[in-house]
Amino acid sequence: MPERSLLASAPAMPRAALGWAGLALLAAVLALAVALTRPPLPGDPAVTQALEQILLWQSLVPRAVTALLAGAALGLSGALLQQVLRNPIADPSTLGIASGAQLALTIATAYAPVLIAFSREAVALTGGLAAVGIILGLSWRRGLDPITVVLSGMVISLIAAALSATVILAKGEYVLSLFIWGAGSLNQQSWDAVIALAPRLALGFAAALLLLRPLGLLGLDDRSARSLGLALHGARLLVIAVAVWLAATVTAEIGVIGFVGLAAPALARIAGARTPRQILLAAPVIGAIILSLTDSAVQLLGSGTADLAPTGAATALLGGPLLLWLLPRVRMVHRAQAGLPPSAPHRVRRPLTAAIWLAGLAVLLVIVALTLGRGPDGWEIATGAVFSDLLPFRGPRIVAAGMAGAMLGAAGTLMQRLTGNPLAGPEVLGVSAGGGVGLAVTLFLVPVLNPLYLVLGIALGSLAVLLVMLALAARSGFGPERLLLAGIAMGALCMALISTVLAQGDLRAYVLLVWMSGSTNRVGEIEAWTGVIAAAVLIAPLFLFWRWLDILPLGAGSSRSLGLGLTRSRLTLATFGALLTGFASFLIGPLSLIGLIAPHLARLTGFARGNHQLLAAVLIGGATMILADWLSRIAAFPYQVPVGLFAALIGGPYLIWLLSRGDTDG
Amino acid sequence: MRLTRRQMLALAGAIALPAPARAAGLRVATVDWAVLETLLALGVVPVAATELLQFHEVAVEPAVPASVTDLGLRGTVNFELLRLTRPDLIFSSSFYVSSEPRMRLIAPVESFAIYARGQPPFDAAVRMTRSIGQRLGLAEAAERYIAETEAEFAGLRERLKSHDGRAVIPINLGDPRHFRVFGADSMFGEVLSRLNLANAWTEATSYSAMAPVGLEALARVPEAWIVMIPPVPPDAERILARSAFWNALPNVRAGRVLRLGSINPYGALPAARRFARLLVEAFGHAGTKPLG
């Protein structure tokens, strides 16, 4: 077995290596069990015997080998990215490589099938490179600061996911292949994937070994590396290109396999790997073992003809909790603490007057959205009879969008103050995705699509995730980096559960997909009133908690010394945050970035105190969503673009722009 | 034309109630494709329907006249536009339950459920055709269409007399490695049993289809006719052609692979008839030239 010899070459970690050797053995046993427990083929023995041979050598064995190779490629890709970006949470999924490749393949499948027929890999690579190119371009000015890179990656991923959902909805009949692909499935009937992966893995590995010395230097900070005479950017870009290539090939061959690229290097470090050389050797082995174990498990637990769940979803299901459990044990050694986004350059002198201006802007947007639109004969300003005709359709969605934006603004402010982490938000902490899991569970348990149950399901899912995140943060005193990592892990875990449901491709999948795309189109009076009441009931009391909002970000010590009941205040605010997120994502889906962006914009405009930031974030969130809703209605008339997509398209680039110019301001 | 008892009753109903008789001139709109094809089959041109570009590609027939307004995606019906087309009646389906209150603001809504859990879709499609006919004062046309459907099936069964008795597995390739399979509870499954053909897929499916199934599952049905329903992914044909596994399948070696034209898997009677007709035609060709 190749794994043994590689592990043996890293003598610095004998005990952990023994454990991993045991796991490798388990993986081999499970793979064998898969081969032995297949139900026999029906029919004439003379025919089935030949068929069994074909099945073994053209399906089972290539599948097992593909799992090993793909796992190794992802592990290597993650290790390279983490090393070169000096970023413990970099991997093909956090950098948007997988989403970029997925979006490119989705668009090509739907609109330019010739490209897919030409080369799946080339399409995926183009998408992956484009995503990484955008992310690196945006974070270049901040010296590829880890947090900026990962945040940009997440924004790109969210936009790509929203675009993909939109394309799938627009091209309904292609849904199936895109779902399978998105969930990452390892079924094989030939050696094609092995033939594609093996040489690329070998080349990538060779390149990684050649770049070992420069990689070691890249672990130092920029100034020291440059003084050693290394062509820093050239080496960096080369390593990144190799990593993207590996990840894009895996994505093109078998789809999105979440987590392996993130978990493998992390587990390697936990196992005791210290030097870049040790990590580069151990991560591919560990990645191969993880993916092999997972793939055997879904086959053994499946029905014999169909797997229990797509393997890519299962890796995230297994890897997510594993990573959450391991997080407190991750040592983030020899890494400079990442810089946080800029604070406000100045404070608004009269916050209330400024807030009134913001409210005025929101009202103006409402008027535009109510009257200006497109009809069969082009642009129209609705007045009189036409206005009252269209009001029952335009009114509720504008109200719902505005209220959802306001609630997300409030929820984001709460979460950022609560965790003391300026990057927290419903989307970043996986809270919105948790709502999706709640919705999926509700869809399975409740036969009738009752809106009330759906809201409850989303709210409970959101609350569960938020409580887990808070418990994690509280127990280990997570810094921003770890909380972000935990949030990304949680989000990936939840999205994996959701994609398992989506892979079923039935009515429930359709409901989930429409929800994910974040369309306000189905919103009626009931939903609009739900939004108004929820916003009023949940946002108004928050202003009573102004003291908590001001004190909590100072940290546990200061909060306690100021006489704050820490558990009670945190739990109260968390419940409010989860309910706000639940109601908002019921109305506009999970993908908008408003919950992250609105509080930022509020702070950057100069609303510094808790109360003022909250008020401004509520207004900014509401106004942005109303604008997004209007754009979604008119952009591709009569076809409608989901509003969540537009919100992400408005908010995402703005946030990245703010982050990228931050170093000049503060 | 001889009328059955049921048809007589339907006719009597149509005469007794004045409303449906007057309804012939109604401006009808629909958000559902199964209703759309039924309307067109009965000779009714709706004022508006959804996603017409895709309908032309997927359902293919019946042709949609240019006068029908496109209401946008099935998932996000443009209600403003629906309002502006001023329908008198909107036909909906169980997929749109949550949007019904919105549509009621525009016009009365009548909803059908062909595809529901645990309900055979063919009979539901017959019932829907009949209800639409009665509602629009076209009960006679509806009964005629249902009778035509039965007659066409009888004719096709006759043509299948010489069939080899092997089962059929209707699949839709998702990518070169996976398919979704249509079970007994799908419209395709129901059409097969009405043609006296067995469905080779005997495992349970929910909401008509099961997905994703690895291509290697086809080794479990070596005798069956593999019937491929479009869309076929662009690279699938190329990859399958040189796949050792695919070419080793007894069905493929014996040429028991049929490629049909595009059919809406969630259609009504017109889609069922189209599937039956294309399938029997494909069987006819399969006898003369090798496939696979």
Q: Which of B77, B80, B219 is facing A55, going by the closest CB pair?
A: B219
pLDDT given for residue B192 in this prediction: 94
Q: What is the pLDDT of residues A69-90, one digit of tens each?
A: 999 999 999 999 888 877 777 7
Percent of chain A with pLDDT over 70: 78
| Domain limits, CATH 1.10.3470.10, in chain A | 57-288, 354-371+381-661
ω into A42 cis (within 30 of 0): no
DSSP letter (8 states) at residue B156: H
**Spatial separation of the C-alpha atoms in residues A583 and B238, rounded to whole Å:** 48
Residue B43 has which token pair? Answer: 């000779």
Residues A578 and A431: beta-carbon distance below 8 Å:
yes
Q: What is the pLDDT of residues A21-78, one digit of tens each?
A: 888 888 888 888 888 877 777 777 777 788 888 888 888 899 999 999 999 999 999 9
> From residue A229, how far is each of A83, A217, A239 by CA, in Å?
19, 10, 18
Task: Name the 3-class secondary structure at B256.
Answer: coil
pLDDT given for residue A182 in this prediction: 57
Interchain contact, B83 vs A189, CB within 8 Å: no
| Close Cβ partners of B241 (under 8 Å, ≥ 6 residues apart) | none
Q: How far away is chain A from the Cα of B235, in angstroms, using its nearest Cα?
A: 4
Backbone angles phi, psi at B209, to 5 degrees: -135, 160
Interchain contact, A185 vs B71, CB within 8 Å: no
The pTM for the full model equals 0.80
Residues B158 and B195: beta-carbon distance below 8 Å:
no
Q: What is the pLDDT of residues B246-261, one digit of tens each?
A: 988 888 988 899 999 9
Backbone angles phi, psi at A582, to 5 degrees: -60, -50
Interchain contact, B54 vs A172, CB within 8 Å: yes
Task: Kindly tell me if the per-residue pLDDT of A199 is higher than 90.
Answer: yes
pLDDT given for residue A643 in this prediction: 79
Q: How far away is chain B from the Cα of A488, in angstroms, using its nearest Cα?
A: 27
Superfamily name and number for A57-288: ABC transporter involved in vitamin B12 uptake, BtuC (1.10.3470.10)
pLDDT given for residue B20 in this prediction: 36
User: DSSP 3-state helix, strand, coil percentages of chain B (rounded to 5)?
Assistant: 50, 15, 35
| Close Cβ partners of A638 (under 8 Å, ≥ 6 residues apart) | B70, B71, B72, B78, B81
Which stretch, A296-310, A646-660, B268-282, has highest mean pLDDT? Answer: B268-282
Per-residue confidence band for A210, with pLDDT thresholds at 50, 70 and 90:
confident
Secondary structure in 3-state letters for A405-458 = HHHHHHHHHHHHHHHCCCCCCCCCCCHHHHHHHHHHHHHHHCCCCCHHHHHHHH
Q: Which of A59, A180, A305 is facing B174, going by the closest CB pair?
A: A180
Which stretch, A191-200, A642-651, B126-135, has highest mean pLDDT? Answer: B126-135
Q: What is the pLDDT of residues A309-365, one digit of tens each?
A: 778 878 877 777 766 776 665 554 333 333 344 455 567 778 888 889 989 999 999
Task: Determine the residue type at A300.
Answer: L
Q: How far away is chain B from the Cα of A494, in angstroms, using its nearest Cα?
A: 20
Give, to the nearest 10 degrees, the angle between helix A594-605 and helix A610-634: 130
Q: What is the pLDDT of residues A276-285, one digit of tens each?
A: 888 888 999 9
Q: What is the pLDDT of residues A596-618, one digit of tens each?
A: 888 888 887 888 788 888 999 99
How many interface pairs between A and B have CB atoms less than 8 angstroms apart? 187
Strands of A285-410, DSSP E: 372-375, 378-381
**Spatial separation of the C-alpha atoms in residues B253 and A53, rounded to whole Å:** 16
Residue A182 has which token pair? Answer: 């998105």
Interchain contact, B216 vs A173, CB within 8 Å: no
Q: Tell me the torsion sign for CA atoms A584, A589, A595, A598.
A: negative
Residues B180 and B171: beta-carbon distance below 8 Å:
yes
Give, to the nearest 10 degrees, the angle between helix A610-634 and helix A643-665: 130
Q: May I ask the CATH class of domain A354-371+381-661? A: mainly alpha
Task: Determine the residue type at B218.
Answer: L
Instruction: Give A-chain residues touching B222 at CB under 8 angstroms.
Output: 41-43, 47-48, 51
| Close Cβ partners of A259 (under 8 Å, ≥ 6 residues apart) | A91, A93, A315, A316, A319, A320, A323, A489, A492
**Spatial separation of the C-alpha atoms in residues B120 and A142, rounded to whole Å:** 61
Give the residue from B219, B207, B273 showing the smallest Cα distance to B244: B219
Task: Kindly tell me if the per-residue pLDDT of B209 is higher than 50.
Answer: yes
Q: Work out the mean pLDDT of chain A and round it to a whole number.
A: 78
Q: Which of B58, B206, B239 is facing A506, going by the closest CB pair?
A: B206
Q: Does A525 touch chain B (CB under 8 A)?
A: yes
**Spatial separation of the C-alpha atoms in residues A66 and A253, rounded to whole Å:** 10
| Close Cβ partners of B258 (under 8 Å, ≥ 6 residues apart) | B225, B226, B227, B228, B279, B282, B283, B286, B291
Q: Does A445 touch chain B (CB under 8 A)?
A: no
Task: Kindly tell me if the per-residue pLDDT of A536 is higher than 90.
Answer: yes
Q: What is the pLDDT of residues B11-70, one digit of tens each?
A: 444 444 433 333 457 899 999 999 999 999 999 999 999 988 889 888 888 899 999 999
**Spatial separation of the C-alpha atoms in residues B51 and A452, rounded to whole Å:** 30
Backbone angles phi, psi at B90, to 5 degrees: -120, 125
Per-residue confidence band for B290, with pLDDT thresholds at 50, 70 and 90:
very low
Which stretch, A84-88, A287-291, B98-102, has highest mean pLDDT? Answer: A287-291
Residue A92 has which token pair? Answer: 């093909």
| Close Cβ partners of B212 (under 8 Å, ≥ 6 residues apart) | A176, A179, A180, A185, A187, A306, A310, A503, A505, B174, B178, B179, B180
A548: Cα separation from own chain's centroid: 30
Q: How far away is chain A from the Cα of B114, in angstroms, using its nearest Cα?
A: 13
The size of chain A, in residues, is: 666
> From residue A257, how far is each of A251, A262, A290, A563, A628 by CA, in Å?
7, 11, 11, 47, 32
Residue A586 has which token pair? Answer: 């019921």
Q: Which residue has the tokens 């079924």?
A: A187
Task: Name the 3-class secondary structure at A36.
Answer: helix
Backbone angles phi, psi at A469, to 5 degrees: -65, -40
| Lowest mean pLDDT segment, chosen from A294-303, A451-460, B116-125 | A451-460
Q: Which residue has the tokens 């209007």?
A: A630
**Spatial separation of the C-alpha atoms in residues A189 and A62, rounded to whole Å:** 8
Q: Which residue has the higher pLDDT, B96 or A473?
A: B96
Q: Which residue has the higher pLDDT, A448 or A65?
A: A65
Q: Does A504 touch chain B (CB under 8 A)?
A: yes
Instruction: Give B-chain residues touching A439 at CB under 8 angstroms.
Output: none
Instruction: Output the DSSP codes for A455-469.
Output: HHHHHHHHHHHHHHH
Q: How far away is chain A from the Cα of B85, in angstroms, using its nearest Cα?
A: 9
Task: Name the 3-class secondary structure at A367.
Answer: helix
Instruction: Output the DSSP codes for A147-209.
Output: HHHHHHHHHHHHHHHHHHHHHHHHTGGGHHHHHHHHH-----SSSHHHHHHHHHHHHHHHHHH
Q: Does B80 touch chain A (CB under 8 A)?
A: yes
Residues A659 and A152: beta-carbon distance below 8 Å:
yes
Interchain contact, A514 vs B75, CB within 8 Å: yes
End-to-end alpha carbon distance in chain B: 45
ω into A14 cis (within 30 of 0): no
**Spatial separation of the C-alpha atoms in residues A574 and A548, rounded to whole Å:** 12
